[in-house]
Amino acid sequence: MDKINVNKLNLWYGSFQALKEVNAKFCANKITAIIGPSGCGKSTLLRTFNRMNDLVEGVRTSGEVVFEGRNILAAETDLVDLRKKIGMVFQRPNPFPLSIYENIAFGERVHGSGLKRDYLDGVVEESLKSVLLWDELKDKLNKPALRLSLEQKQRLCVARLIAVKPDVLLMDEPCSTLDPQATSRIEELMRELRNNYTIIIVTHNMQQAARVSDDTGFMLLGELIEFGRTEDIFTKPQDKRTEDYITGRYG
């Protein structure tokens, strides 16, 4: 089942066209990787799914990004609601300068009022368990989140998203600041989370895309050159440009 359907998507930053006639279908409960050289439009495409590009002056779009039967690029889209349902984990972990507990509870406090402590306690525990941090942190919930390791911070940021019960997790180079061992554990976490969420990741690491994703899209100069099952993209690409990138001839 399609979770996000992209039809003839174009995006401009001023006069520069960053995305060109992109068409793709992102399936529910799968991990989709977007690969390609720097500056090809990967992160721009990812940020389109929760309208983060709107924060850049001079951005305009055409085409459709359909989520829950609606074009989220429409002017009437409720961006607060959209970003609750489609959350993002950034390249560098960005926990708030608050306690571990308050980082997780933050979203619930924003979206609800008069929430009881027992309810928030349950949200915090469930969210930390989802990212395999509960056993490590259950006795440190009042400690500052900024004191955690990089890997723990990244997991915490995922837990913060999960706390508000999104449908889609966007991950922009989620392992680029992590060592190989921590990267492996975050990849394992992604595979676990796929059971409950649709995950779209941007990565420069083609080995990572091959390891964790079900589907892969290859982008070049703002175009989605090829999109399909990861195994097919990496073993029998249909486009010469995809093959050249995957085999290291450029990029």
Q: What gap in Å lies between CA 81 and CA 75, rounded to an integer?
A: 14
Of 40, 49, 37, nearest to 6 by C-alpha is 49
Domain count, the chain: 1
Q: Specify the DSSP element, H or E, that contains 97.
A: none
101 domain residue, yes or no: yes
Q: At residue 196, what are phi and psi to the nearest 5 degrees?
A: -120, -10
CATH of the domain at 8: 3.40.50.300
Pairing of strands 2-13, 59-67: antiparallel
Average pLDDT of the chain to the nearest whole number: 93
**pLDDT tens sequence across 169-197:** 999 998 888 888 888 988 998 999 999 99
218 domain residue, yes or no: yes
54 domain residue, yes or no: yes
pLDDT at 46 over 90: yes
**pLDDT tens sequence across 115-133:** 788 899 999 999 999 999 9
pLDDT at 112 over 90: no
Q: How many CB atoms lie within 10 A of CB 249?
A: 10
SS3 66: strand
**pLDDT tens sequence across 130-146:** 999 999 999 999 999 99
Tokens of 195: 């059971």
143 domain residue, yes or no: yes
Length of the chain measured in residues: 251
Q: Answer whether 0.85 is exceeded by the pTM.
A: yes
pLDDT at 251 over 60: no
Mean pLDDT of 105-112: 80
> Range of 132's domain?
2-246
pLDDT at 3 over 90: yes
**Which percentage of the chain shows pLDDT scores above 90?**
78
251 domain residue, yes or no: no
Mean pLDDT of 227-231: 97
124 domain residue, yes or no: yes
CA–chain centroid gap for 87, Å, is 7
166 domain residue, yes or no: yes
